[in-house]
Amino acid sequence: MTQTTIELVPNVYQEIVDDAAGTLTKQWKISGTWTTTAIEYGFAPNTGLEYNVGGDKVPYVLGTLATSYATNSATNVATGHTATITPTDTQIELLGSITVENSIATSGVTLSLYRTVANGSAPAAGSAHGGSDVVVLGPMTVYSVYANQAQQVGFDFVDSGLTAGAAYTYYVVIQAVTSGYAIEIGAAGTPNGSVAAVNASTIELQNI
């Protein structure tokens, strides 16, 4: 299959065709406000994207981190990076990447991705994860060879055991390893300005 780049028009379903087979694969629709960021990422952060499969509209949610978050906490704290979906079944697919760095060399960042309980709320940036919330990715630690070394952790997996029709919010927590500031990189770059927006973290949720 040959990949083709198309421009998505807000609030209009558009066909995406398999170039090799010449058959319709999905119909996509973007909703929300078209912004400069949308040009960089394909669509605006925290807006809805849907595709049609057999006439059924399936929501596809993107959660981005607008501004990088830094903490010197030695215990997990939320970064404010969230994405919320209401599953149509008991499972969804999660995919995306989390980009982190530590402000000093030889230290690192421990990160996790959590899910709230049904219809629960994510903690505010700087707060600990909810006591009843479920860790769905991690904890994992990445170490820095040099200061402000950006490292991406990619993921693509199915989260199950959900309640159809209930809302779930997924969110990132980080902590510093031994010393320095742990940083999750957002679209505006890092506090030190060392990384371009292309490395910004994303959480993508999709009903399956």
pLDDT tens readout for residues 45-100: 444 445 444 444 456 788 988 889 999 999 999 999 999 999 999 999 999 999 99
- Is a pLDDT exceeding 80 seen at residue 168? yes
Fold of 65-207: Jelly Rolls (2.60.120)
Strand order through the sheet with 134-143: 77-85, 168-177, 108-115, 134-143
d(CA 63, CA 6): 22
**Of residues 6 and 81, more confidently modeled:** 81
Q: How many CB atoms lie within 10 A of CB 165?
A: 11
Candidate ranges 45-49, 131-135, 184-188, 203-207; pick with highest mean pLDDT: 131-135
pLDDT at 38: 35
Q: Exposure of 11 by Cβ count < 10 A (0-12 exposed, 13-18 middle, 19+ buried)?
A: exposed
Domain extents in the chain = 1-64, 65-207
Element (H, E) at 40: helix 36-41
Give the span between the Cα atoms of 169 and 105, in whole angstroms.
33
Q: What letter would DSSP give residue 15?
A: E
pLDDT band at 5 (very low <50, low <70, confident <90, very high): low
Q: Which has the minimum average pLDDT: 47-51, 121-125, 202-206?
A: 47-51
